[in-house]
Amino acid sequence: MGPTPAPESMCARLEIEGGKSANIKPRRTSQGRSHQIIVEHSQRKKSNLTVYKVPNNKDKTFHMAFCFELKKKKYFPVVEKDSKKKMKLEIQAQSEPKMFSDRFLFRWADHNNEYGSLCSVADPSQYLHVLDKDVILMPKPYSGFRVRNLDTKIYKSKRLVCRTVGCGKGTKGTQGMQCRGRSCSGGATGGRWKTSEKKKCMI
């Protein structure tokens, strides 16, 4: 078995069903100043989120790590245990790690059309969930997330390259199509999708 490929990074947006997206905000608590991933309505074309696609050594799938940037600092959501041994989502300020341990990583667990649920790789598995306006960890799935790739490098040999990318175990009618920044009008084999089957670019 050869060496594990380096993670691929891309500018992206973590979107939530209903025209919302995730962002990071500072927050004061009884324990002091901290940061929280919040859900907001946003029409911003730019994003402060980098998504790292980390190859899974056990199979040909990939896991994801998320990095939000705020005032030139990087913030990673990580899975930790609190004093009661309960799993929780913490926002950790640090530089990009040389290797991503399981506590940084999330994977697609299932999907619902264009959206799916994101599950922690660290055991016991927990799911990203929206409670009020906060993104937290919960033991039950929340099938309302998608990761939209905002990479603008869309051409290879002056032709648009499309490829299907799994959001869970999707099929032709349910998988997203990644066109590196543009909506797809054709399948991976060059065929045309019907209008009702066109999908926006997502990871």
What's the pLDDT tens digit per position in 132-148?
Answer: 999 999 999 999 999 99
- Give the CATH fold of the 8-148 domain: Trefoil (Acidic Fibroblast Growth Factor, subunit A) (2.80.10)
Question: What confidence score (pLDDT) does residue 187 get?
Answer: 38
Averaged pLDDT for residues 55-82: 91
The answer to whether residue 79 scores a pLDDT higher than 80 is yes
Contact of 129 with 71, CB cutoff 8 Å: no
The answer to whether residue 173 scores a pLDDT higher than 50 is no
Question: What confidence score (pLDDT) does residue 114 get?
Answer: 87
Domain ranges of the chain: 8-148
Question: What confidence score (pLDDT) does residue 128 get?
Answer: 97
Question: What confidence score (pLDDT) does residue 144 get?
Answer: 95
Q: Which single residue is written with the structure tokens 């999707």? A: 170
Q: Is 187 helix (H, G, I), strand (E, B) or coil?
A: coil
Confidence grade of residue 28 (pLDDT, cut at 50, 70, 90): confident
Q: Enumerate residues 6+ apart whose C-beta is below 8 A from 133.
A: 38, 39, 40
Q: Which single residue is written with the structure tokens 């907001």? A: 40
Question: What confidence score (pLDDT) does residue 201 get?
Answer: 53
Q: Enumerate residues 6+ apart whose C-beta is below 8 A from 17.
A: 115, 144, 145, 146
